[in-house]
Chains A and B, each alone.
Chain A
Amino acid sequence: MKTWFHSWRAAIRIARRDAWRSKGRSSLVLAMIALPILGVSAFDLTYRSSELSPAERVERTIGAADARLRDAQMGGVPILQDPAGEMHTPAKEPQDGSWPSGPTDVTKAIPAGSTVLTDGTGSAKLTTAHGLLMTEVRELKASDPVARGIMVLLDGRFPEKNDEVMVTSHFLETSALSVGSTLSARNFDRPYRIVGTYELPDSLKADQVNALPGAFLAPYGKAVEKAGLPAPDTSVSYLVRKPGGFTWNTVQQINTKGVAVVSRAVALDPPADAEVPLFQKDGWGGNYAASPAARAAELAAVSTVVGLAMLEICLLAGPAFAVGARRSRRQLGLVGANGGARSHIRAIVLSGGLVIGIAAAVTGTVLAVILTLVLQPVLEGVMGQRFGAFDVRPLELLGIALLAVLTGLLAAIVPAVTASRQTVLASLTGRRGVRRSSRVLPLIGLAALLIGAAIALFGSIVTEQFVIVAGGSAIAELGVVAMTPALVGLFGRTGRWLPLSPRLALRDAVRNRGRTAPAVAAVLAAVAGTVAVSTYMASSEAQKKAEYTPLLPYGVASAFVPEEGGRDVPAVREAVQRAFPVDVRADVERISVGKPGCSQWEQGTGCGRYEVIVPPANECPMYASLPGGADPSEKYTPEQRRKMLTDDWRCKTSGSSGMYVSDGGLLVGDAALLKVLGVDDPATVKALADGKVVSFSRALVDEKGTIGIKQITDAAAADKAAEEHRPYPGEVDSLPAYLVPGDKKTYGVQALMTPATAKSAGLATVPLGVYVSTDRLPDSEQRQKLDGELAKLGSSIELHLEEGFVGNDGIILLSLAVFAGLVTIGAAGIATGLAQADAEADLKTLAAVGAPPRVRRTLSGFQCGVVAAMGVILGSAAGLLPAVGLRLTEERSQIRVHEQNLAQGWSGDSPLPDLPIVIPWETLGGLLVAVPLGAALLAALVTRSRGALARRAAT
């Protein structure tokens, strides 16, 4: 034990000084190992620091209060909640299927003798320097000691009067206002002065305005209602301070009144799961911890990624250690001559890995700590959340750092074994000779390749398990890596007819497989991954393109404003007209029931809706709802269902897929819309002008040639009818209709009438939006201009521009190719360095027989190119396998679903799913041609053409 330790000390000393002497190579390897460590450590630090302690979390939620009491909106029935106060459910299962709902009076649940602070939230459309901005308004007396910690004052002061507000720093930035400016809201002419800025430590990106309780939301709501619009929803919770705090028992008592509680005492000392009745209920189990199987799968995935990354680094760094060992061969020989056994030689080369590994671990960890500290504000900004305490977990960092040491050691193992196998005499005399590579390894590799390919094939042909395909491919790929030395040998046979430099390079690479193979394997692994992902992505992109359904005709844009009775529609129409190269503009309206200020889907008081009636005779029997809610399709056999789907027009899905524009696809507009949608049938245009409702759907028109529109004014009664599967109560208007012949593609528009027709039928309309066709597709600048103008309105606007299928994988494919290219050049460069270290004698001989100096350059260029080319060719082949396998698996699973649907009669004569396999030729071409060429040129450029004179120690 003791002797072992002392000889290792000597080995480490030699390795340490050697690493210092060849700084370039050492720092390259160090960077390779340290960078991932830096990334992972920085992630760990950031993650741990952003993880808040219970005390920190409670402070951000309820400030200095003991609890926050909140209405569970369950009509005051007893509830069960989790300790965090985030989830709750009625204590008793509702018997009649109706979920309890409605407000309750929270103040009655507040224990006597408590200090109470209200915290109200609502929203308002505020005027900013740019336009309007929908913003959350929070009424909380932030200066109260009870609220301390919820809002952090950054600048100015807390509001003290009713006409003062403070705003979040993010809002100040978005609105381009400043402290001292006046703030007002749309439809509300009372001005508020901004007296300060604050941040919410948990959501730095929140746009929020803080006012004193009662100062903003109530008067604003009144003003908005006066303008004919529904007042925004508001909610109030109560921050409560009570001597003794709120224990879990107190919380449960308060729950009986239908009130949910966030308690400081409970958060800091949570009850056991057994004491939480909610967790004892079915479906609410425990803390929602992931199942052991899911955790195991996650662990397996993480270890695979870590393992593959380490393998890649080892393959890259290994040759660098081999270069080191080769360069210091004489030194290792001297150690041997002085009694160094093979274990000592191994120890010295391994120590090289250990030294670099430790240096990389220290560098990576220290840099990670420094970077995380320095970049803390930036990281907090990106995450939108302030860190708690800066949390350094030494054990975790040590674990990550150990990975670096391990990687260094693993990378040095093969060079160490190789170096120790050299005889002392060969090392001393610098004799070379072909180093035989293992005969067993390629056989094992071939076996792994065959077994892996068989598994992947089995996975893609017989099963639908992605895991099997991926696992098989991984085994096959490791097999190819193991076979690399043998495969490299095959390349050597092609060399006979090459000119001198490439022939020398190829022969050298093949005869010295020990150093060529790891570099080729490193390139292979990186390229295989890239090719696999690229092929898979290119294939699914081709599939997406084939399956793409346009929402509108090409080049047509639509903009809808469903809210506030379409008040901003005129402004939106103008903005679109100004920003886009408009050809035809079609303004559209919608039928409105109830108050005109209602939003399109609003269900509130005074707001109604309508229904375009499908006559019972036109309903597909499989879908027609039955009283009592039974599934109508169950009456039919699969055979009958399939027949209906193929033969019955009522059951065929309409070809008019597109945007969901309004109830029943009914719009109010003129002939311009027909033009925009590409309907140029003169009879249709005439029918529309004649005051008929033009219908593109056969199902909407009854046998009398009319369309029925039912106005539903009583929303509550309609909901009840829906629960009981009865028709909605309401008045039906029948309008004469014109059924457009043929199956026209109308992108979601099912029926159209002119405003005059609607008016004469007594249907109220409000503006909905605009369709425009364009002369040419708007460019990026025009789109940005429109986005900017629409943003100023502060409304939620549904804007769509149909530009056909737009792939978004290009940038990912490109960055993958660049990554693989860099790895290739790096690995090939290292292998070339190694070859150069070996080739010194050959070059001298070459020079002696009269080779021009540039041979040295071209030789190193070709050496680099040969390694890159071999790796890229093998990697491309190895990468196609998993991609094709995965696609085949997907196809099988989709075909199975399709066949099931067919057998069950859920689908008619739809075609078999077709999953194309597309080879990403651009990526492949770049990898196969550009990368080896680039690597070769780079190596040739950085090699000196004049050889160093025979080196001698200075005497």
Chain B
Amino acid sequence: MSTQQPVLQLQNLTRVHGSGATEVHALRGIDLAVYPGELVAVMGPSGSGKSTLLTIAGGLDTPSSGRVIVEDTDITAASVKELAALRRRSIGYVFQDYNLIPALTAAENVALPRELDGTSARKARVEAVAALEEMGLGHLADRFPDEMSGGQQQRVAIARALVGDRRLVLADEPTGALDSETGESVLALLRSRCDAGAAGVLVTHEPRFAAWADRVVFLRDGAIVDQTVRSDADSLLSGQVAEA
């Protein structure tokens, strides 16, 4: 695993909101690398900086200092336009809910990044339907978001996050609005995509879902306080739950 190039690299990342009396350190000196085929779970209490980490990793927010490297590109130096292009080609997002554009069908939602990138509608659609079918969602292709269940919507969102050449999926509490059973199925899909070669970062505060990850990173007050690999995750998790 370590012989490969990481898909995402965070180097000494800090993020300060506000200044003076209202200064808040959201992230303090984070170092993290995510490799292809790896699913990393980020856990921590509210306000620990989980979501900030994710938005900065995806280029939606800029760090106060440090570097973010996605597939050899330092996105902290990229322009707004280049960042948008990067999100079309390299980074996929999955949010807690309302992931899909209500005006577009499932296939069109999945095809959107490709179409925005200038691929013809027909070609983008073929790719999108293929992606959906590969994930067992082919039957949803022509449904609008309000004709799908929450779990189905989240799975389509994962399909969109990984359409084309994209290999990095950033998921912010993707199961937060779902019941546990549906949540499991969404996580199972995410896990399978990582097994197929993608790199994933999953923000969650549910240990049950973190168990799907290869590695769990614990954040507190903007700093990584602990890291564990999958082999000893279970024991660690039980201790963490007991503490909480």
Chain A residues packing against B (C-beta within 8 Å): 2-4, 6-7, 9-10, 13-14, 16-18, 21, 330-331, 334-342, 344, 423-425, 428, 952-955
State the total of A-B contacts with C-beta under 8 angstroms.
Answer: 106
| B116 interface neighbour in A10, A16, A331, A423, Cβ under 8 Å | A10
How many Å from the CB of A378 to the closest CB on chain B?
43
Flag if B86 contacts A339 (CB, 8 Å): yes
* A423 to B58 Cα, complex, angstroms: 13
How many Å from the CB of B49 to the closest CB on chain A?
15
Q: Known A-B contacts: A9-B115, A10-B116. Give 13 more (CB < 8 A).
A: A6-B119, A6-B124, A7-B116, A7-B118, A334-B100, A335-B101, A335-B116, A338-B160, A339-B84, A339-B85, A341-B80, A425-B61, A955-B177
B145: which A residues are within 8 A, CB to CB?
953
- What are 22 of the A-B contact pairs (CB < 8 Å)? A6-B118, A6-B124, A7-B116, A7-B117, A10-B116, A14-B103, A334-B99, A334-B101, A338-B113, A339-B86, A339-B89, A339-B117, A342-B81, A423-B60, A425-B61, A428-B60, A953-B98, A953-B145, A953-B150, A953-B153, A955-B149, A955-B151
Interface SS of chain A: helix
- Is B87 close to A, CB under 8 A? yes
B218: which A residues are within 8 A, CB to CB?
none
Flag if A330 contacts B87 (CB, 8 Å): no
How many Å from the CB of B63 to the closest CB on chain A?
13
Nearest chain B residue, comparing its CB with the CB of A423 = B60
Known A337-B58, A339-B85, A339-B113: A954·B146 in contact at CB below 8 Å: yes
B99: which A residues are within 8 A, CB to CB?
334
A336: which B residues are within 8 A, CB to CB?
60, 84, 87
- Is B67 close to A, CB under 8 A? no
Nearest chain A residue, comparing its CB with the CB of B161 = A338
How many Å from the CB of A351 to the closest CB on chain B?
11
| A14 interface neighbour in B60, B88, B104, Cβ under 8 Å | B104
| A330 interface neighbour in B98, B118, B119, B124, Cβ under 8 Å | B98
Known A3-B118, A4-B118, A335-B112: A955·B178 in contact at CB below 8 Å: yes
Flag if B150 contacts A14 (CB, 8 Å): no
Nearest chain B residue, comparing its CB with the CB of A15 = B103
- Is B31 close to A, CB under 8 A? no
Nearest chain A residue, comparing its CB with the CB of B104 = A14
Flag if A338 contacts B103 (CB, 8 Å): no
Flag if A341 contacts B58 (CB, 8 Å): no
- Is B184 close to A, CB under 8 A? no
Flag if A953 contacts B103 (CB, 8 Å): no
Interface centre among B98, B116, B145 (most CB of A within 10 A): B116
B102: which A residues are within 8 A, CB to CB?
21, 331
* A143 to B32 Cα, complex, angstroms: 103
Flag if B88 contacts A339 (CB, 8 Å): yes
Closest 7 CB pairs of A and B: A3-B118, A339-B88, A17-B103, A955-B150, A341-B84, A339-B87, A10-B115
* A10 to B84 Cα, complex, angstroms: 16
Nearest chain B residue, comparing its CB with the CB of A18 = B103
A337: which B residues are within 8 A, CB to CB?
58, 60, 87, 93, 95
* A330 to B120 Cα, complex, angstroms: 25
B146: which A residues are within 8 A, CB to CB?
953-954
| B103 interface neighbour in A13, A330, A954, Cβ under 8 Å | A13
Docked complex: B48-73 residues within 8 A CB-CB of A: 55, 58, 60-61
A18: which B residues are within 8 A, CB to CB?
103
B160: which A residues are within 8 A, CB to CB?
338
* A954 to B80 Cα, complex, angstroms: 34
Nearest chain B residue, comparing its CB with the CB of A338 = B113
Flag if B121 contacts A340 (CB, 8 Å): no
A340: which B residues are within 8 A, CB to CB?
84, 88, 116
How many Å from the CB of A239 to the closest CB on chain B?
67
Flag if B103 contacts A331 (CB, 8 Å): yes
A334: which B residues are within 8 A, CB to CB?
95, 98-101
Interface centre among A9, A18, A330, A424 (most CB of B within 10 A): A424
A17: which B residues are within 8 A, CB to CB?
103-104
A338: which B residues are within 8 A, CB to CB?
87-88, 92-93, 112-113, 116, 160
* A7 to B89 Cα, complex, angstroms: 14
| A6 interface neighbour in B91, B120, B149, Cβ under 8 Å | B120
Docked complex: B209-233 residues within 8 A CB-CB of A: none
How many Å from the CB of A600 to the closest CB on chain B?
79
Flag if B103 contacts A425 (CB, 8 Å): no
Flag if B116 contacts A344 (CB, 8 Å): yes
Nearest chain A residue, comparing its CB with the CB of B112 = A338
How many Å from the CB of B210 to the closest CB on chain A?
23
Nearest chain A residue, comparing its CB with the CB of B97 = A953
* A215 to B116 Cα, complex, angstroms: 84
B124: which A residues are within 8 A, CB to CB?
6
A7: which B residues are within 8 A, CB to CB?
115-118
| A9 interface neighbour in B85, B104, B121, Cβ under 8 Å | B121
- Is B108 close to A, CB under 8 A? yes
* A330 to B102 Cα, complex, angstroms: 10
Nearest chain B residue, comparing its CB with the CB of A21 = B103
A428: which B residues are within 8 A, CB to CB?
60, 95
Nearest chain A residue, comparing its CB with the CB of B108 = A13
B117: which A residues are within 8 A, CB to CB?
3, 7, 339
A16: which B residues are within 8 A, CB to CB?
103
How many Å from the CB of B125 to the closest CB on chain A?
11
How many Å from the CB of B22 to the closest CB on chain A?
15
Interface centre among A18, A331, A338, A955 (most CB of B within 10 A): A338
Interface string of B102-143 (1 = CB under 8 A from A): 111000100011011111110010000000000000000000
* A10 to B121 Cα, complex, angstroms: 8
* A868 to B1 Cα, complex, angstroms: 66
B60: which A residues are within 8 A, CB to CB?
336-337, 423-425, 428
A6: which B residues are within 8 A, CB to CB?
115, 118-121, 124
Flag if A425 contacts B55 (CB, 8 Å): yes
How many Å from the CB of A535 to the closest CB on chain B?
48
Nearest chain A residue, comparing its CB with the CB of B103 = A17
* A197 to B230 Cα, complex, angstroms: 102
* A337 to B153 Cα, complex, angstroms: 16
* A4 to B120 Cα, complex, angstroms: 10
How many Å from the CB of A818 to the closest CB on chain B?
38
* A339 to B58 Cα, complex, angstroms: 10
How many Å from the CB of B59 to the closest CB on chain A?
9
B85: which A residues are within 8 A, CB to CB?
339, 341
A339: which B residues are within 8 A, CB to CB?
84-89, 91, 113, 116-117
A952: which B residues are within 8 A, CB to CB?
97, 177
How many Å from the CB of B160 to the closest CB on chain A?
7
Nearest chain B residue, comparing its CB with the CB of A332 = B101
B92: which A residues are within 8 A, CB to CB?
338
* A955 to B117 Cα, complex, angstroms: 31
A330: which B residues are within 8 A, CB to CB?
98
* A334 to B124 Cα, complex, angstroms: 18
* A804 to B146 Cα, complex, angstroms: 71
How many Å from the CB of B186 to the closest CB on chain A?
12
Known A336-B84, A342-B80: A2·B118 in contact at CB below 8 Å: yes
* A338 to B95 Cα, complex, angstroms: 11
B101: which A residues are within 8 A, CB to CB?
14, 331, 334-335
Nearest chain B residue, comparing its CB with the CB of A342 = B80
Nearest chain A residue, comparing its CB with the CB of B120 = A6
A953: which B residues are within 8 A, CB to CB?
97-98, 145-146, 150, 153
* A334 to B151 Cα, complex, angstroms: 18
Nearest chain A residue, comparing its CB with the CB of B101 = A331
B87: which A residues are within 8 A, CB to CB?
336-339
Interface centre among B58, B60, B100, B113 (most CB of A within 10 A): B60
Nearest chain A residue, comparing its CB with the CB of B93 = A337
* A337 to B91 Cα, complex, angstroms: 9
* A339 to B81 Cα, complex, angstroms: 9
* A904 to B103 Cα, complex, angstroms: 79
How many Å from the CB of A695 to the closest CB on chain B?
91
* A953 to B121 Cα, complex, angstroms: 27
* A10 to B178 Cα, complex, angstroms: 30
